[in-house]
Every structure is written in C-alpha cells, then in structure tokens.
Structure 1
Amino acid sequence: MKCSTEKSVGVILLLVVSLLFMGVPQAAADSGSKPLLFSPEANAPTRAVAAADPAAAAAAANVCGAGYTLYYAERLPDERRFGTLFIYTKPGAAENQPVCAIFDNNTGVAKYMKIKLCSNWIADGCTQDSGTFSQYAGPVYQKRGGCGKVTAIMTNSASSSTALIDAVRSTTAC
C-alpha cells in the first residue's frame, strides 16, 4: 500500500506542476502586453530608462496604440524620478511622423499633471491632457508631430504654483 500511495502522490504533484507551467504562457498571452519596440533613433539614455522599468515603457506604448515605437524617455525632474516622459513615434519623415506622448506619474500618489504636445505645423496647434492623475497624463497625439514640442508639468494640486516638474522637450530631432 505504501508504494501505491507514494506513486499516487508523485503523479498528483507532477500533474499540479505541469498545470502551473502550462498556465503561465496563457496568462501572459491574455495580458495583452506586447514587446517594447524602439525607434531606430532612440538614444542610449532612452534605452537605459526603458531597461530600468521595461513594464512601464511597454505599458505606455500599449496606451499609444499599434505601430508606435519608443523614441524618447526621460526621468523627470532628475534621478528622483517623480515622473517619466515617454515619446513614441510612427515611422515616417521626421517633420510629418505621428507622435504620441505619455507623462507617467511615479510618485505613488495622485498629482496634478499636464502634458501638452504641439506640432511643428502651426495649423495643427496643440493637444493636451490635464487633471489629477495617480498613473499618467495622456496619451496626447499629433498626426504631424515631428519637430514639435512636448510640455510636462506636475504639481501637488491644480491650485499649486510650485512645480515639481516643468519640462519642455523637442518631440523629435529635425
């Protein structure tokens, strides 16, 4: 009897372990996450920011939608990283390529945030997203966003005049 009990326990353990390992790929497939793709123009600091937190960079890319690649990422205001600015582009001529920007909140608490994306084309104007967010501001898009400007602002509240982050960056090199 001892031998068959040990054999039964062994078979059950084998089945449980097999089911656990079979479930992992399915769970990953159901999460909807896609591998992060870099723009060929993404610089070394951008790649380092993405490598430090690949889940955040990939999640922001998923928010932008299909076809966007990571062009630029920066911790703001500095290594303290209250927020991270992500700029994604679709392939195309620099001044005409579609751009998506996300401003990630890394503080762990809701903050007033604003992200504004302005096209280099005056007729296209700017798009923006602002409010009190615990995760991120954006996404904001420009169909012809290359050579434009992106502004990222973070304060403790909408009425606060002291900025934790006040950054203006170029969307792409021209």
Structure 2
Amino acid sequence: MSFAVRCASGAAGLTTAALILAVPSVYAAEQTEAPVASFADAGTRAIAAQDREAVQAAATLCGDGYTLIYAERLPDERRWGTLFTYMNWSDYSAGRGCAVFDNNLGVSKYMKLSICESTIESPECVTDAGNFSQYAGPVYSKTYWKYQQCSKVTAIMKNSASDSDAAALINRRLSVGTCN
C-alpha cells in the first residue's frame, strides 16, 4: 500500500500527512507502531500484524494519539480496499473517531467515506467523497463521541459517482462501538 500521493478530483492540494508520507524513508525511523485497542477483534489484529505499514500510515493520517479499533479488507479476501477506524481517547471520558478507506486497486475509483454519530439530539455526518487512487478520508467525528454505541461508518467504492450503490464494488456499512 502506498499513501504517498492522493489524487482527488476537486481536492485542494495535499494534506500535511500526505506530504510527510511522501518521504517514508525519512520518517520511518521516527514512526512508532500504531497501537491496537485491547478489545479489537481477531481480524483487526491479523491485519495489524500482516500490514503494519498500512496501519501506521492510516493512523498517521488521523493524527497523534489514535488507536486502531477496527480494520477490514473489502469486499472480502480480494482486498480492493481496506477500511481502518481509529479512536483517540485523549480526554479519557469520550473518544473521537477517525476513519480512512484505503484504495488497494491502485487506480482511481469513486470513493465515499463517512462517519455518522448516532445521537438522538442532532445526528451529524462527516463525509469525504470523490475520485481517489489512494484513499478517502481521513474523516472524523465532529465532536468527541458521547454516544459511541452504534455510530455508523460507511465505505463505498464504485467505478464512477453515477453508478448505483447496487453496482458498487464495495458498499460497507458498520457500527463503531457496541450496538444492542
């Protein structure tokens, strides 16, 4: 996986994280391994063990203090994309979520990544969408999650924006946190 360059139609330049990742040999010695949450499932732990560089690169895009809570190869073992979700518990009372959707195909595809907080008062979604050859995101929950249970992450990859969701190469919706 290479997070070195992000190609997005309509995107306004490279992010600072993308610039840092463009020169991995300079920063590789300084980077520490991204932490994995103690409650992460076996699949997430396997991805973290098999592809430490990708897990660290996605965590670097999210920023300091993020812990991997979930990773999934999509749509299946073919791994056209990989979804990474992280949490930052820096205030110790709630966590701020971050997600990165990696394009493992190496060619530009329409991608959409969103985090929607499940709150009764005022649910909010944050979305990154466009034609990306590397990744969509990172997207963050707008505030620290007071209601982590059942917050939703959506990752969609299609050949073009005009394709229906039914024709999507990847169409994954999942809950972050525990849901009843």
Partner of residue 33 from structure 1, selected from 15, 31, 36: 31
Give the distance between the partners of 1:135 and 1:50, measured in 2 at CA. 19
Cα deviation, residue 121, structure 1: 2.0
1:136-155 → structure 2 map (5 Å cutoff):
136-142=135-141, 143-145=143-145, 146-147=148-149, 148-155=151-158
Aligned residues: CA RMSD: 1.8
Give the distance between the partners of 2:178 and 2:25, measured in 1 at CA. 36
Residue 4 (structure 1) aligns with: none
Question: Amino acid of the residue matched to residue 173 of structure 1?
Answer: T
Give the distance between the partners of 2:60 and 2:25, measured in 1 at CA. 15
Q: With structure 1 as the length reference, what TM-score do the two structures score?
A: 0.77
Residue 117 (structure 1) aligns with: 115
Residue 103 (structure 2) aligns with: 105
Q: Is the 8 A contact 1:115 1:130 kept in 2?
A: yes
- State the aligned residue count: 146
Residue 164 (structure 1) aligns with: 169
Q: Which runs of 5+ in 2 are unaligned?
A: 1-23
Q: Percent identity between the aligned chains? A: 51
Structure with more of its chain in helix, by fraction: 1
Give the distance between the partners of 1:116 and 1:99, measured in 2 at CA. 11
3-state SS in 1 of match to 2:163:
coil
Considering only CA atoms, is the larger Rg found in Structure 1 or Structure 2?
1
| Runs of 4+ with deviation above 4 angstroms | none
Q: Is the 8 A contact 2:33 2:52 kept in 1?
A: no
The structure with higher relative contact order (CA 8 Å, sep 6+) is: 2
3-state SS in 1 of match to 2:58:
helix
Question: Amino acid of the residue matched to residue 120 of structure 1?
Answer: S
Cα deviation, residue 63, structure 1: 0.3
Q: Is the 8 A contact 2:114 2:139 kept in 1?
A: yes
Q: With structure 2 as the length reference, what TM-score do the two structures score?
A: 0.75
Question: Amino acid of the residue matched to residue 111 of structure 1?
Answer: K
Give the distance between the partners of 1:117 and 1:100, measured in 2 at CA. 8
